[in-house]
Structure 1
């Protein structure tokens, strides 16, 4: 099962503070949407309202066309996977996964079969008799996911479910989470503050800031064509260069006024937007690339971040002739 989610004019107040302000968002059935933003931006509040754990001050949430006003969490076609897994330590994995079915009155044999099928789906086939303490963090996360999927929700809500994992395991789980979502076809709404995680798993990223949606779109669009300065900065490193009267600090550019935005990896000796000769201030080897700070000789007060190929022989004090392959101009 899967369903679309429609959020219309949603606001949430806590006393005089506005946690969400007039949120409008349409999520297609079967879509993997990531709510992305810094702590306090309202993403978890929005997830809690969708799941029924909080009632909005204003606005409407529709799931599969049904108004969720006054509908308790247990009666909504949603389940939630939390960061802390919330597994029962005294129960076997089979009983943990089948717990939601048990609460719905499903008989023991049926829920055991369903639990085993869900454990197989998340790569834990044949481990139903084990206890949570026998598993790694990543395996416990898979069990929590299997338990949520066992009740066949129309919409699965994930509240920073990978936040407690180390980097290598988190990346592995990102791949697995995306693959599972593709197989089951359920609508996933996933909260994170990790930009790389969002780009790795999302069909669409919703960037939030101070209770508002700044930008939503496919990962490539949000990263390469940000609509706001906040989105540009939050989605990773970016060079912000003021432009006035068709000139940047390093020389003429093909735009009149605004802020010229260039990603570090878009700067190279082959770039068509000419920056000119730049002095290398410092260099750090990051594995996939070499990260350097450079200063254009024609603009000594301008400091740019550049990502060069790992094979590039560059040292502090050297001079590079650089340009930009791609750029965006915002007028805010």
Structure 2
């Protein structure tokens, strides 16, 4: 089963603090949506409203077209996976995974069969009789995911589920999550503050800031075509060049007035938008690329960050003729 989620002008407050400000968002059935933003942006508050852990001050949450007002977490077609796995240490993995089914009144044999099916789905076949303490952190996270999926939710909510894992394991689990979501087809709503994680797993990223949606779209669009300065800066390093009536510190660039945004890796020795001659002020080899800072000769106090191909050899003081292969202009 899977279902759409509709957030309609939802506002939430905690005392005098405004956590969500008339947020509206449509999530299609079977979509993998990531809510991304810094601490306090409202992403977890929004997830909790979808899950029924709190009620909004105003607005509506609909799942599968049904208004969820007054319906608690246990009665909603959702389950939640938290950063804390919350596994029962005295229970086998099969009993942990089948716990929700047990609460629903399912008999022992069907619970066991479903638990074994879900453990195999998350890459843990043959481990149904083990205890949580026998597993690694990544394996325990898989068990928590299997437990959530065992009750066949229409919508699976994930609150920073990979935050406690080390970098290598987190990246491996990102691939696992996306693959599992494709197989089961359930709507996933995932909260994280990790931009790389969001881009690795999302069908659509929703960037939040100050209780509002600052940007949303497929990962490529949000990264290369940001719709706000906040989103542009939050999604990674970016060069910002003010433009007034087509003029900038680098000379004439694009018509109009606004801020020209260019990612460091979109600046190179060839491209569609000439940036003019620039002097290298420092450079370092980063393995996958060469990172350099350059100063345009027309604006020596301006600094641009440039990521050049791995094989590039440059020296401090060298003058390069640079151009942008991709860019976006945000107007006021």
TM-score calculated relative to the size of structure 1: 0.98
Q: Deviations over 1:86-108 (max 9, x none)?
A: 11111111111001111111111
Q: Deviation at 1:314?
A: 1.7
Q: Cα distance, 1:245 vs. partner?
A: 2.1
List alignment gaps of at least 5 residues for structure 1: none
Q: Secondary structure at the match of 1:276?
A: strand
Output the CA distance in 1 between the equivalents of 2:66 and 2:265.
Answer: 45
Q: Distance in 2 between matches of 1:232 and 1:116?
A: 44
Cα deviation, residue 208, structure 1? 0.3
Deviation string 1:264-289 (CA, Å, 9 cap, x unpaired) is 01100102211121111122222211
- Does residue 313 of the first structure (1) align with residue 313 of the second (2)? yes
Deviations 1:156-209 (A, max 9, x none): 000010111111111111111000000000000000011111111111110100
Report how far residue 238 of structure 1 moved: 0.5
Q: Which residue of 1 aligns with 2:297?
A: 297
- How far 1:71 sits from its partner (Å)? 0.5
Cα deviation, 1:219-247, whole Å, max 9, x if unaligned, reads: 11111111111111111110000111211
Structure 2 Cα separation of the partners of residues 209 and 177 of structure 1:
25
Take 1:27 and 1:201, find their aligned partners in 2: how far apart are those partners? Answer: 15
Matches within 5 A, 1:242-253: 242-253=242-253
**Partner Cα distance (2:95, 2:314) in 1:** 58
Distance 1:115 1:129 in 2: 11
Corresponding residue of 1:46: 46
Distance in 2, Cα, partners of 1:135 & 1:313: 47
Partner of 2:203: 203
Task: Say if 2:134 is the partner of 1:134.
Answer: yes
Matched, 1:225 2:213: no
Answering whether residue 173 of structure 2 is matched by residue 166 of structure 1, we say: no
Distance 1:43 1:245 in 2: 37
* SS across alignment from 2:91: coil
Map residues 52-201 of structure 1 onto 2, 5 A cutoff: 52-201=52-201
Is 2:268 aligned against 1:268? yes
In structure 2, how many angstroms separate the alpha carbons of the residues matched to 1:329 and 1:79? 41
Equivalent in the alignment of 1:279? 279
Task: Report how many aligned residue pairs link the two structures.
Answer: 332
Q: Secondary structure at the match of 1:223?
A: helix
Normalised by the length of structure 2, the TM-score is 0.98
Residue matched to 2:237: 237
RMSD: 0.8
SS of residue matched to 2:62: strand
2-side partners of 1:7 and 1:256: how far apart?
Answer: 36
